[in-house]
Amino acid sequence: MDTAAADRWTGPEEAVGRRRGPGMWLAGLLLAGVSVVLGFRVGDSDGITPVPQLLAFLPWLLAPAGLGLALALLARWRTGMVWGVAVLGGLAWYIEPYGKTGSPTGTPLAELRVMTANVQFGRATDALIGAVEREKPAVVFVTECEYTCSRALRDAFGGSGGAFPYREAVEGAGSAGSVILSRFPLKAADGIRKTTMGMPGAVADVAGHDVRLQLAHPMPPLPGQVGVWRRELGALRDYAAASEGPTILAGDFNASQDHAAFRRILDTGLRDGARLAGAARTPSWPSRTAPTLGAQIDHVLVSGDIAARKAAFLPLTGSDHHALVVDLTLHQHG
C-alpha cells in the first residue's frame, strides 16, 4: 500500500503523527538529556556521573537543545517547542559569568604577572620554559610537574642568579608533583594537605606586603572519583574562606563556573582574574579544541585587594591545557 493510500485509510491525523513520530522522539531525547544537566545547575548541585562531566560543557549544550527545538518545530510538536524554548532560555541565563567583580579602591602598591600551567605529566616542560622566558611572569604555578620537570625548572630558573630564586614544591611522580616559582621572596606555608595531588602554598613578599599564594590541583571528576573531587574542592573553599589579606589561588581546578563546588570558592569573595580582565569563559581545556571549544578549568583567583588588567591563554606543546597569564595589581587595603 502506498503512502497516499495509507493516509486515506488511517486518516490525516494518524498520518501526520506517523510522519512526525521519529522527530518527536529524537527531540524529546535531546531535550530530556539537556534538561537533566540544566536541572542540576538550577538546583545548585553537581549531582553524580555523568552530570559533573557534562556541566563543564554547559554552554555547548546549546547545540543539542537547539537541535531538539528545531526537530520539534519540524514535527509540529507544540509541547516540544515550548520545552525547547524554556531549555534554551535556561542555558542562556546560566551562561552569564558568575561571581563578584569590581575594582579595589585602595592605592596601587605593586604590579605582578602571574602564570598558571598544567604541563601534563611534565611533557610540556620545555614549552613552559619558553613561555616563561617570553612572558616574564613574576609568579608561576605549575601542576603535573613530576621529578624531571621539577629538576628542569630548577636548572633553567633556580639558584641565586636565576630568574626565580624562590620556590615551593611538592615533589611527586606523574600528576602528583606541583611547583610554585617566584621572583619575590617566599616564606613557607602549610599549603593544602591530604590531597591526591600536591598543592603547595607560600607567602610572597611583594613590595613589603605579604601575599598568600596557594596552588590548586584537585582530583578531576572522573567516574568513581567525584566524591574525591568534591572533597578537594571543598578544601580549597575552606582555604579561601580562612584567608586574610591579599591572596592568589591559582592552578588547574578541574572545574568551571558551572560546577557548584567551584562556585562555593567564588562565594568566599575571591574573584576570577580572567573574568575581571574580560576573558570570562575562554576555554583552557582540552587544548585540541580550545579556545574555540572546551571549558575554562584553569583559573587565577584573587582577593578583593587585587585587580586584574589583562589575561591571555597560551597553548603549550605537549599539554592538554592552555597556560593562563594574568596581569595583576596589588592595592592597599582600603
Q: Is residue 162 part of a domain?
A: yes
pLDDT (0 to 100) of residue 18: 53
Examine the domain organization and report whether 268 and 168 are in the same domain.
Answer: yes
pLDDT (average), residues 304-310: 96
Q: Residue 5 pLDDT > 70, yes or no?
A: no
Q: How many domains does the chain have?
A: 2
Cβ atoms of 322 and 96 within 8 Å: the answer is no
Confidence of residue 209 (pLDDT cuts 50, 70, 90): very high
Examine the domain organization and report whether 33 and 65 are in the same domain.
Answer: yes
Q: What are phi and psi of 322, to 5 degrees?
A: -90, 140
Cβ atoms of 80 and 29 within 8 Å: the answer is no
Q: Residue 264 pLDDT > 70, yes or no?
A: yes
Q: Residue 19 pLDDT > 90, yes or no?
A: no
Examine the domain organization and report whether 39 and 187 are in the same domain.
Answer: no
Q: Residue 1 pLDDT > 80, yes or no?
A: no
pLDDT (0 to 100) of residue 181: 98
**With the C-alpha atoms ordered 59, 118, 136, 213, is the resulting torsion angle positive or negative?**
positive
Q: Is residue 101 part of a domain?
A: no
pTM: 0.92
Residues spanned by the domain of 239: 108-331
pLDDT (average), residues 136-147: 98
Q: Is residue 291 part of a domain?
A: yes
Alpha helices in 114-179 (DSSP H): 125-135, 147-157
Examine the domain organization and report whether 36 and 165 are in the same domain.
Answer: no
Q: Is residue 305 part of a domain?
A: yes
pLDDT (0 to 100) of residue 189: 93
Q: Average pLDDT over the chain, rounded to whole?
A: 93
**With the C-alpha atoms ordered 83, 59, 272, 171, is the resulting torsion angle positive or negative?**
positive
Q: Percentage of the chain surpassing pLDDT 70?
A: 94
Q: At what angle do helices 12-42 and 78-95 cross, to 10 degrees?
A: 20
pLDDT (average), residues 4-30: 65
Examine the domain organization and report whether 26 and 140 are in the same domain.
Answer: no
Asked, as a colleague might, if the bond just before 165 is cis with ω within 30 of 0, I would say no
Confidence of residue 333 (pLDDT cuts 50, 70, 90): confident
